[in-house]
Amino acid sequence: MTDGCRPCVLIWAVFLLSSVMGYRPVIIVHGILDGPRQFEILAKFINQSHPGTDVTTLALYDYTASLKPLWQQVDGFREAIRPIMESAEDGVHLICFSQGGLICRGVLATLPTHNVHSLIFLSSPLAGQYGDSCYLKKIFPKFIKSRLYHICYTTWGQRISICNYWNDPHQRERYLKSSIYLAPLNGEIVHANSTAWRDSFLHIQTLVLIGGQDDGVITPWESSIFGFYDSNETVVEMEKQDWYLRDAFGLKTLNSEGAVVKCVVPGVHHTSWHSNLTVYKNCFY
Ligand SMILES: *[C@@H]1O[C@H](CO)[C@@H](O)[C@H](O)[C@H]1NC(C)=O
Ligand SMILES: *[C@@H]1O[C@H](CO)[C@@H](O)[C@H](O)[C@H]1NC(C)=O
Ligand SMILES: *[C@@H]1O[C@H](CO)[C@@H](O)[C@H](O)[C@H]1NC(C)=O
Ligand SMILES: *[C@@H]1O[C@H](CO)[C@@H](O)[C@H](O)[C@H]1NC(C)=O
pLDDT at 21: 53
In angstroms, rounded to a whole number, what is the distance separating the alpha carbons of residues 247 and 239? 10
Q: No. of H helices and E strands in the chain?
A: 13, 8
Closest listed residue to residue 185, CA positions, set 103, 265, 264, 258: 103
Summarised one tens digit per residue, pLDDT across range 121-163 is 999 999 999 998 777 777 788 778 999 999 999 999 999 999 9
Is residue 274 among the annotated active site residues? no
207 three-class SS: strand
Is residue 98 among the annotated active site residues? yes
In this structure, the residues whose C-beta lies within 6 A of any atom of ligand 2 are 110, 191-193
Answer yes or no: are the C-beta atoms of 138 and 33 closer than 8 Å. Answer: yes
Radius of gyration of the chain (CA): 20
Q: How many Å from the N-terminal Cα to the C-terminal Cα in the chain?
A: 42
Whether 213 lines ligand 4, by a CB cut-off of 6 Å, is no
CA of 269 to the centre of ligand 4 (A): 8
**Half-sphere exposure of residue 126: CA atoms within 13 angstroms, side-chain side:** 30
Give the number of the atom of ligand 2 that is nearest the alpha carbon of residue 191.
Answer: 13
Which amino acid would we find at residue 230? D
pLDDT at 134: 74
In angstroms, rounded to a whole number, what is the distance separating the alpha carbons of residues 98 and 39? 13
pLDDT at 118: 96
Give the number of the atom of ligand 2 that is nearest the alpha carbon of residue 193.
Answer: 1
CATH T-level topology, domain 22-130+193-284: Rossmann fold (3.40.50)
pLDDT at 139: 79
Give the number of the atom of ligand 4 that is nearest the alpha carbon of residue 282.
Answer: 5
Question: What is the value of pTM for the model shown?
Answer: 0.89
CA of 275 to the centre of ligand 2 (A): 37
Whether 210 lines ligand 4, by a CB cut-off of 6 Å, is no
For residue 115, CA distances in Å to 151, 164, 203, 270 come to 37, 26, 7, 29
pLDDT at 242: 97
pLDDT at 141: 80
Instruction: Pick out the chain residues at pLDDT < 70.
Output: 1-21
Q: Domain-by-domain residue ranges, the chain?
A: 22-130+193-284
- Its sign, for the CA torsion 110, 111, 115, 120, is negative
Ligand 3: residue whose CA is nearest its atom 6: 232
Nearby residues of 47 by Cβ (< 8 Å), 6 or more positions away: 53, 55
Which amino acid would we find at residue 61? Y
Catalytic residue among 66, 98, 200, 224: 98
Is residue 270 among the annotated active site residues? yes
